[in-house]
Structure 1
């Protein structure tokens, strides 16, 4: 029966499946660094300082503004790189969004937004949509580098040829700080479980299932490597799996907690014997960040093992001439090894007439009932085709099929 189900999922070509092309752009962090603004931005957006500066702009008691809050959304828009197009309203109004498995909300900028960031992005005009329904409630979302405030509504959402009716979403009216000014995307479409949502109501994929828009409760991601000449640069397939995007077999991992797309990880091994979480830990498969994150103590030790040195901005740089001598890093999931070479976990970015090399690992402490968590972002997912199965609550990983670059 399991083999039959896998065959049906992998070969299904029905009409209720849509491909969303994903564009890859330099992250906000890279753009700020190129402009010489990164250090000042990071100083201004430390959580406690940010809270004190902007708390008066939000309704009293907004949960995400509590000082010393120990948990926050892992969605890291500072490092997001892949986005695609959707539309909201009737007639449709187009927006570019991050398709993010690390959050569960859909939001786009509102025409009533008063922030500088909104002036540089497309804004939703509720009064022009015949199918819009005002909700009246407000919401606040706390991201790693700032807060977002908005109001809720319901409207028709289109992704490719698929139409979702009465979709709950947020209109952002206040996006303080400069991060969203630099962002190439307009908003975020979360694909995590409903329990992670700040906006009341079903997330987009839940409504697609409830409205029977997709025949199979599955979506999958292919993310290209570093070059912009890749075709496609990335792709989200809603409703199925594309065998042309991967090599070999799929390794299926059960979801360990229905919030993030979270799985159990056996260990992380550095070539030569050093290992992390040797008795097991948990990992989040997250398309919303380009990096691989882990507990501070582990990641700092890992940076030492790969010869990465810290900068004033909290990043870690590596001598580009030493890449061939750096160790391989292996993530063991479900008994299978997923190995990254230095060429895959080091990020090369142009700087003047040369390149700077940055570690693809970042310290990120997430408090959870399951203990320390790792985040496997795009540094990992560019090498492995990822499949998210809501029907059986599992994640599939297979070697991504990249053209020679």
Structure 2
């Protein structure tokens, strides 16, 4: 049986490697199988829109959920605007889109930026750069132009024009680039990320962005810029200090299940990352967790479990800054077929420093509305509606 490839999107510069993080592929399957990719493209035509909120200072940008693998939003670049769909990523800081001169077969399927049609385009002297992600790397040149997202305008925004696209599942996915929302220390050659451009020039009222992401068709996923719409969470936000001002990294007290600590017994670090599909941790620890959850795996694959056996599984509880954040089986178990389910833990973070570092990806972020507060270097968490 073939499986979908689920990816994380941590980036670093070719010149200065800022983070030694390579995220792992969990499943392997071509996205086009069973018509999933074609159906998605037909149902989600390109469009740029802004959702009104109760607070006029907040810009809410709709995000498309692509098969629970990635969340994609629309931007425009240039004058007149050229429209692109970009993967939103909180563990990288650069913005890149495909270049009109990209010769990769995957580039021809989607939109590419043409500098000749933009009156606001500025060349950056053809500086060649390379960005490396967990799923591959892209090479390209730096450029500057006007970028718009949800009605917000970032003038003189430096970005990368890519000559190729990432390999694996991302090569087949319906996107034209990636927009990073991590700290500026991770940006290539010291270029300002788009969020910092918007904040520095007073385009947003607060240096804050937030996510409401969902797997459910009746609930639209959103990126909020410049503020928080509190209608999307229950109870008060609980604030957690950022420990690493590069990635959105925090301290976790422990991870437990059935009143037993199963990981992070002496405290550990965790990265909040919308660019990662699942829950990632050190391989040996994840293996132990999988064995305790699933002592009788299917097809010799520890993450595959009979769906009827998941009904009694208890929540996995992440204790953060003294507060418990339970993930019920509704979130950490996904259905593959009528009878087969998938446990959404995977290893691969043991090369990070400190060695026990976790990546809390979309599985966690769907359960908890998340606010990224750059002004106070903190993350706010509350149960999503």
TM class by shorter-chain length?
A: 0.7 to 0.9
CA–CA separation in structure 1 for the residues paired with 2:352 and 2:298 = 27
Deviations 1:85-124 (A, max 9, x none): 1111111111111111111110111110011110111111
Q: Kindly tell me: are residues 176 and 277 of structure 1, through their superposed partners in 2, closer, same or farther at Cα, counting changes over 3 Å?
A: closer
8 Å Cα contact 1:152/1:199 also seen in 2: no
1:84 aligns with 2:68: no
Mark the runs of 5 or more structure 1 residues left unpaired by the alignment: 1-11, 28-79
Cα deviation for residue 236 of structure 1 reads 0.7
Partner of 1:65: none
SS at match of 1:118: helix
Q: Kindly tell me: are residues 337 and 108 of structure 1, through their superposed partners in 2, closer, same or farther at Cα, counting changes over 3 Å?
A: same
Mark the runs of 5 or more structure 2 residues left unpaired by the alignment: 1-52
Q: Kindly tell me: are residues 301 and 310 of structure 1, through their superposed partners in 2, closer, same or farther at Cα, counting changes over 3 Å?
A: farther
8 Å Cα contact 2:58/2:229 also seen in 1: no
TM-score (norm 2): 0.82
CA–CA separation in structure 2 for the residues paired with 1:214 and 1:380 = 27
2:333 aligned to which of 323, 343, 346 = 346
Deviations 1:43-68 (A, max 9, x none): xxxxxxxxxxxxxxxxxxxxxxxxxx
Partner of 1:322: 309
1:279 aligns with 2:266: yes
8 Å Cα contact 1:170/1:199 also seen in 2: no
8 Å Cα contact 1:85/1:94 also seen in 2: yes
Task: Trace 1:107-256 onto structure 2 (pairs within 5 A).
Answer: 107-135=96-124, 136-175=126-165, 177-198=167-188, 200-224=190-214, 226-227=215-216, 229-232=217-220, 234-256=221-243
Give me the CA root mean square deviation: 2.0
SS at match of 1:290: coil
CA–CA separation in structure 1 for the residues paired with 2:339 and 2:169 = 24
Q: Kindly tell me: are residues 316 and 338 of structure 1, through their superposed partners in 2, closer, same or farther at Cα, counting changes over 3 Å?
A: same
CA–CA separation in structure 2 for the residues paired with 1:131 and 1:355 = 55
Cα deviation for residue 186 of structure 1 reads 1.6
Cα deviation for residue 198 of structure 1 reads 2.8
8 Å Cα contact 2:94/2:178 also seen in 1: yes
Partner of 1:373: 357
TM-score (norm 1): 0.78
Cα deviation for residue 366 of structure 1 reads 5.2
8 Å Cα contact 1:315/1:358 also seen in 2: no
CA–CA separation in structure 1 for the residues paired with 2:88 and 2:166 = 22
Partner of 1:388: 372
8 Å Cα contact 2:298/2:306 also seen in 1: no
SS at match of 1:358: strand
Cα deviation for residue 315 of structure 1 reads 7.5
CA–CA separation in structure 2 for the residues paired with 1:134 and 1:195 = 23
Q: Kindly tell me: are residues 186 and 199 of structure 1, through their superposed partners in 2, closer, same or farther at Cα, counting changes over 3 Å?
A: farther
Q: Kindly tell me: are residues 202 and 344 of structure 1, through their superposed partners in 2, closer, same or farther at Cα, counting changes over 3 Å?
A: same
Cα deviation for residue 127 of structure 1 reads 1.0
Partner of 2:59: 18
SS at match of 1:325: coil
CA–CA separation in structure 2 for the residues paired with 1:176 and 1:144 = 10
8 Å Cα contact 2:182/2:248 also seen in 1: yes
- The alignment covers a number of residue pairs equal to 331
SS at match of 2:107: helix
Cα deviation for residue 310 of structure 1 reads 7.8
Cα deviation for residue 306 of structure 1 reads 1.1
**Worse-matched range after superposition: 251-260 or 95-104:** 95-104
